Amino acid sequence: MECGRLQKKEVANNYDKEGSSYDNIRYGRTLGGQFFSEIELTNTLGMLKRGTVLHIGTATGRVSEYLVVKGFDYVGLEISSVMAGITKAKLNARGSVVRGDGEHLPFRSASFDNVVSVRSFHFLPSPKQFLGDANEVLKPAGRLVVSFERRVYGRETLRKMMKLPDSAVKRTYYTNSEVALMVRSAGFKIRFTGNVTKLPLLAYWRAKNDRILRKAHGKMPSFLGTVGMVVGSKY
């Protein structure tokens, strides 16, 4: 229990520090990063039902603003006070942002048509607690969408070869099948299990020119992708 609280504090502190630089680091420096953002947003949108959405982990509001523009009645939950403030400013009262913990959802039962977690699932110390709470706050036949950085062979070797720093906060990598099993065990019917990306995430973030990526992407298999997604429906 104490370990989980410390991990959440580390996540909040890290994103408090990154603040408004978060998006530029990941999506603004390269055209490949911007292309990845497009892929992630459109894949997430395609899995959602129309109606209300609870978004876990708003960060700087990139996903938040996209969903609001697409017509969703939006509520975001964010553990970082700095990120929550940035998202609120970006939305400009077009949605609600609540400071809180994804493993203890402060909402009434059957409140939302969708619960979505875009690459925040791997930060949760107790993901089964989150999944149980998500089931509780979803309406009957409500949709759960979670994406996450997958556990893949050679990740640590590649990081060292590229001389990249280790993650600033602890995260747990899962396979798609492991997450699907957790989602099913939490009372959901699995609607989709697969990859969001077709290449390792770093390949997008480091690609300064996206022309070749965009041209080849539709024809590429997805088994090299390192961002997974599982979608479930509440029974």
- Of the candidates 55, 61, 56, 54, the residue with the CA atom closest to the CA atom of residue 22: 61
Contact partners, residue 26, CB within 8 Å, separation at least 6: 33, 37, 205
* Concatenated DSSP letters of the chain: -HHHHHHHHHHHHHHHHHGGGHHIIIIIS-HHHHHHHHHHHHHHHHHPPSSEEEEE--TTSHHHHHHHHTT-EEEEEES-HHHHHHHHHHHTTSSEEEE--TTS--S-TT-EEEEEEES-GGG-S-HHHHHHHHHHHEEEEEEEEEEEEBP-TTHHHHHHHTTPPPPSS----B-HHHHHHHHHHTTEEEEEEEES-SS-HHHHHT-S--HHHHHHHTTS-STT--EEEEEEEE-
Locus of tokens 């995260």 = 171
122: its two tokens: 């791997």
Locus of tokens 């929550």 = 84
Q: How far is Cα 109 from Cα 218, in angstroms, rounded to an integer?
A: 40
What is the mean predicted confidence (pLDDT) over 123-138? 97
pLDDT in tens, 136-159: 999 999 999 999 999 987 766 665
Average pLDDT across the chain, whole number: 92
pLDDT in tens, 59-87: 999 999 999 999 999 999 999 999 999 99
pTM of the predicted protein model: 0.92
pLDDT value of position 63: 98
Q: Which domains does the chain have, with CATH numbers?
A: 2-234 (3.40.50.150)
pLDDT in tens, 1-49: 566 777 888 888 888 988 888 888 888 889 999 999 999 999 999 999 9
